[in-house]
Structure 1
Amino acid sequence: MNKKLLKRAIALSVAFASTPLFAGGFALNEQSVSSMGTGYAGRSSSADDASTVFGNPAGMSRLKQNEVSIGATYLDASTDIKDASSFSHGQVNPGTNKGDMVPGIAVPMGYLVTPIDEHWAFGLGIYAPFGLVTDYEHSFQGNAFGNKSKIQVITVQPTVSYAFNDKVSVGFGPTFNRISGELDSIAPALGMGNEQVKIKGDDTATGFNAGILVQPIESTRVGLTYHSQVVYHLTGKTSASGVLSNLLDGGPQRYDAKLDVTTPSSVDFSVTHQLNDDWTLYVGSTYTRWSQLKKITATNSGVSELTSEFAGLNSITEQQNWHDTWSHAIGAAYRVNKQLVLRTGFSVDQTPTNNTDRSVRIPTGDRRVFSLGAGWTPIDNLTIDVAYSYLKEEPVKVRQSQPALGLTYDAKYENSANGFGTSVTYRF
């Protein structure tokens, strides 16, 4: 048996688990339930509640009372996988393609805003700006290219705002971000069985959010928010177990891993216009610099035999070939009475990926989202917001291959999702 070929198979199995960490757009929008109701149109110009800490920190100047807002959004996604095929060394690679790989998940959020005086305000936000969960069945036909992916970013943002006058305000807040992740792959080992590879890592890094809010006339507000890029240096462990590990090293392997990742910066621009006492209109656009994530580089250490014989395992780099994206949204709110506001919105969002580089880990395409929402204020100091969104993505193709192992996977993905959000805002 060719020992070098077996070792190369282990190295490639590790590469499968290490390099496609972020194989598509993975930003989350679920930081505000009131904004969710309007399709996130007007997110940087509305300043309706304490969630403006994220939407536009300059909007805190519009809140004249202490406010606490706590909520969550539940996401229920579904995928239909069609026309799937996989080959290993020219032979059909068996497996299933159920498509039920995204478990339901709740995305929490919480905010506090405290006015200090007529100019200054302080705020604190806790939210999730990025996230990813895909967990395929154990018999998934494309397991070699990604079996499980779980990435979570939690951000804490202390914030201050300053109002120059009743027309112009600015806001700024550093962000303290914690990223953690787990990536699993199950690669066929030259017809002898499987090799399972799992990588876990985490890191903490800082960034910032800044915004400006301008109200040129009484009925119209214009907002601009900048969310900075954040550079992470993840450290963790990679483990390999299966037929190859048993043959070459007498059992499972475990070694140190490092991975450098950059989450992109974005600019959010929106306009809020109060048409009359009952109707408010919103428009907005967000530009995200996904091209800042130029490549993924993973370095591994601790297995001298592999690293000495295969230098490629010491430093594994995968080009992403991503492009910057735009998302656009329109929305409206209708005030039924003093206690009840109804909302709706529609948005379109580009994917940074393409048919050539798209992965089974995040097989996403351009999306369209329709939203409904409501805000109910039963008493003056308490508001309950609810929202529903339906997301539909264009059908996309996933075509992955690894010539060194003779592996391919091709399929057509059709994704959709339902989102249910609720939050409670208390003023005191």
Structure 2
Amino acid sequence: MARRNREQVTVGGAAVIAKTDISGRGSNFGGETDGDMVPVVGVPMGYYVKPIDDHWSVGFGVYVPYGLITDYGSGDAARYWGKKSKVEVVTFQPTISYAFNDKVSIGFGPTINRIKGELGSNLNSQAFPGFLGGGPDGEVKIKGDDTAVGYNIGVLVQATDRTRLGLTYHSMVDYKLEGDTRVSYPVALAGLSGKFDASLKIKTPESVDFSVTHELDDHWTLYAGSTWTRWSRLESIVVKNEAPAGYPLQTITEEQNWHDTWAHAIGAAYKVNKEWTLRAGFSVDQSPTNNHDRSPRIPTGDRKAVSFGAGWSPNDDMTIDVAYSYLWEEDTKVNNQPDTPTEGALKGSYQAKYENSAHGIGASLTYRF
């Protein structure tokens, strides 16, 4: 923001088109293995910046720092371990920036974060004594939301006439989602159906970004960056239901045991002329999951991505940017085994191999006043 000398607004978005090939044993309760469990997802964003004087600038941003959706079919083999998972986080961030001089500037902004989540799984009806098999599965659906506050702080250093260094800290955000759990069973087990108030505590992790930008000459600009993220905060998902004593689903727990990750990226931009700039980049990103606890909700592995883009400035007031990315992950295995006889009766086991990839298409419009 401190490097902007004109008021400007940027709006845009991206679409993510994912593809997954699933193979393997599947569930001991049967079911198909269909890879089309991630729908096309749109991700919007918008930013506004206004310089106040030679030192101060203010701004406001709306963006999506985290998101997740997997939606398996009713007959999918993964339905007992994660039929549907959906998490949406939208962040609103007012920001202020101060330039000490031409070399060093800082920025700070609180983040107001709105999270909505939904988790769903099937339950094997034949797990209960007295139920004459052959009927449909039961189903549990958990929904909740919350608003919590965090912050971002960063510093930008003009190390040389052509080299800039950036360091940004994104804080942890502590949520307590409150909503309800709905359990539905066929008529023969209607006594186990019900709707209960539910709560879930979860923390999205802090991260640290470091970046270097170097203007090689009047045409070429080189970029490099690394991000450390403290994903080890996500040890488990624990939903507490206000259900009657003795009810089998008073607490629903799914172990995660994620680990901290590093992501690295390099890129280059070539300024063809005053109007056109071409860009390309490559990144690697560690997965926070582990082979023991990885589930069909988030069956991700270490990933790589290659990106291409272009910027067009028909005049000094407007710039249109477009980009395309292709992402692919290492093959990952999911091996979910029940920890207790009750869990085994309700969920069975699930084993599968995932091959994930995705296309990303993005565009933005920047207008300067």
Query: What is the rounded CA distance, in whole Å, between the counterparts of 1:426 and 1:86 in structure 2?
Result: 53
Query: How many residues are aligned here?
Result: 357
| Partner in structure 1 of residue 129 of structure 2 | none
What runs of 5+ residues in structure 2 fail to find an aligned partner? 127-132
Amino acid at match of 2:198: A
**Which one-letter code corresponds to 2:153 in the other structure?**
A
2:337 is the alignment partner of 1:397:
no
For the Cα contact (< 8 Å) 2:184–2:190, is it kept in 1? no
Structure 1 segments, 4+ long, off by >3 Å, are: 246-252, 312-319
2:241 corresponds in structure 1 to 300
Alignment pair present for 1:179 and 2:115: yes
- Residues 285 and 372 (structure 1), Cα distance of their counterparts in 2 relative to 1, 3 Å cut: same
1:329-366 Cα shifts (integer Å, max 9, x gaps): 00000000000000000000000101111010110000
Separation (CA, whole Å) in 2 of partners of 1:298 and 1:131: 19
Corresponding residue SS for 2:64? strand
C-alpha deviation, 1:313, in angstroms: 3.9
Secondary structure in structure 1 of the residue aligned to 2:6: coil
Deviation at 1:296, TM superposition (A): 2.4
* Alignment partner of 2:32 out of 82, 96, 109: 96
Partner of 1:17: none
The structure in which a higher percent of residues are strand is: 2
Residue 379 of structure 1 aligns with an amino acid whose one-letter code is N
Residues 380-402 of structure 1: CA deviation (Å, up to 9, x unaligned): 10000000000000000001122
* TM-score, scaled relative to structure 2: 0.94
Structure 2 counterpart of 1:288, from 229, 234, 240: 229
C-alpha distance in 2, partners of 1:370/1:254?
46
Contact 2:144 2:179 in 1 (8 A): yes
Residue number among 200, 205, 215 corresponding to 2:158 in the alignment: 215
2:56 to 120, 124, 142: 120
Q: Which has the higher contact order (CA 8 A, sep 6+)?
A: 1
Deviations, residues 26-55 of structure 1 (Å, cap 9, x unaligned): xxxxxxxxxxxxxxxxxxxxxxxxxxxxxx
C-alpha distance in 2, partners of 1:411/1:268?
34
Distance 2:98 2:26 in 1: 58
- The CA distance in 1 between the partners of 2:252 and 2:79, in whole Å, is 20
Q: CA deviation at 1:295?
A: 2.8
CA shift, 1:324, in A, is 0.4
Distance 1:142 1:295 in 2: 19
Structure 1 contact 84–97 (Cα < 8 Å) conserved: no
Instruction: Tell me: CA distance 1:376–1:332, structure 2 relative to 1, closer, same or farther (3 Å).
Output: same
Per the TM alignment, residue 300 of structure 1 is displaced from its structure 2 partner at its CA by 0.6
Whether the aligned pair in 1 keeps the contact of 2:165 and 2:213 (CA below 8 Å) is yes
What's 1:231 paired with?
A: 174
* Post-superposition offset of 1:251: 7.3
Query: TM-score of the superposition, structure 1-length normalised?
Result: 0.81
Going by fraction, where is helix more abundant, 1 or 2? 1
Match of 1:131 among 67, 72, 77: 67
Q: Distance in 2 between matches of 1:230 and 1:102?
A: 26
How is 1:19-418 mapped onto 2 (pairs within 5 angstroms)? 60-87=1-28, 93-190=29-126, 191-193=133-135, 194-243=137-186, 246-250=187-191, 252-301=193-242, 303-304=243-244, 308-310=245-247, 313-402=249-338, 403-404=341-342, 405-406=344-345, 407-418=348-359
For 2:130, the equivalent position in structure 1 comes to: none
Q: Is the 8 A contact 2:18 2:359 kept in 1?
A: yes
Structure 1 residue runs of 5 or longer lacking an equivalent are: 1-59, 88-92
Shift of 1:316: 4.1
User: Is the 2:26–2:33 contact (alpha carbons within 8 Å) kept by the matching residues of 1?
Assistant: no
Distance 2:285 2:191 in 1: 49
Indicate the RMSD between aligned Cα atoms, in angstroms.
Answer: 1.3
Contact 1:132-1:150 at 8 Å conserved across structures: yes
Q: Is the 8 A contact 1:258 1:300 kept in 2?
A: yes
